[in-house]
Amino acid sequence: MLKDGNKRFVSGTMLSRNFPEQVKQTATQPDPFAAILTCMDSRTPPELIFDQGIGDMFSVRVGGNVIDEDVLGSLEFTAKIKGVKLILALGHTECAAIKGACDNVKMGNMTVLLDKLKPAINAVPQNIQPRTSENDAFVRSVVEMNVKLSLQAITKRSTILNELIDKKAIALVGAVYDVHTGQVAFYKD
């Protein structure tokens, strides 16, 4: 459903929706099928890039789509209590949080957030140089690695989600959104 929705978004053939009616229908009983963990970037609104309506999915948004206890708790709620069948960790190109972490930006509480992206930077092969936001290939590699490490963190740090994944009650998928084309590239593994 997300792949089809993204194809519609990219091609400009998004479904026509009656949002006031959807508000009424979902007011007391929403039935979301997915939870999307993505960045708070204004260019990455999940409902739009996947052409979904009100009540179709949960959106968990935080700079750099980092994993912390609040994010894990939110994802556990969506899966265990609300019954979503898919969790998608979605990174995006041109991510300012990733670029800030690559440049070792220090600024108030943002420092703590950007430090959570350091493992992705450190996991990118050292031969990719220079290791700054000026190197598009490096930034893209960090974005992709951050998604992969997010998927690992979800299974390692949440026994609830890991159990649901093992039972095949939910699927866990990673992807990267291209802010230039609007296309989402889903990971195959």
pTM (predicted TM-score): 0.95
H-helix or E-strand containing 172? strand 171-177
Q: Does domain 2-186 have CATH number 3.40.1050.10?
A: yes
Residues ≥6 apart with Cβ < 8 Å to 130:
138
Q: In tens digits, what is the pLDDT along the chain, a chain of 189 residues? A: 999 999 999 999 999 999 999 999 999 988 899 999 999 999 999 999 999 999 999 999 999 999 999 999 999 999 999 999 999 999 999 999 999 999 999 999 999 999 999 999 999 999 999 999 999 999 999 999 999 999 999 999 999 999 999 999 999 999 999 999 999 999 986
Query: Could you tell me the residue ranges of all domains in the chain?
Result: 2-186
Where does the chain have alpha helices with state H?
Answer: 2-11, 19-26, 46-49, 69-76, 96-102, 110-115, 118-123, 136-157, 159-166
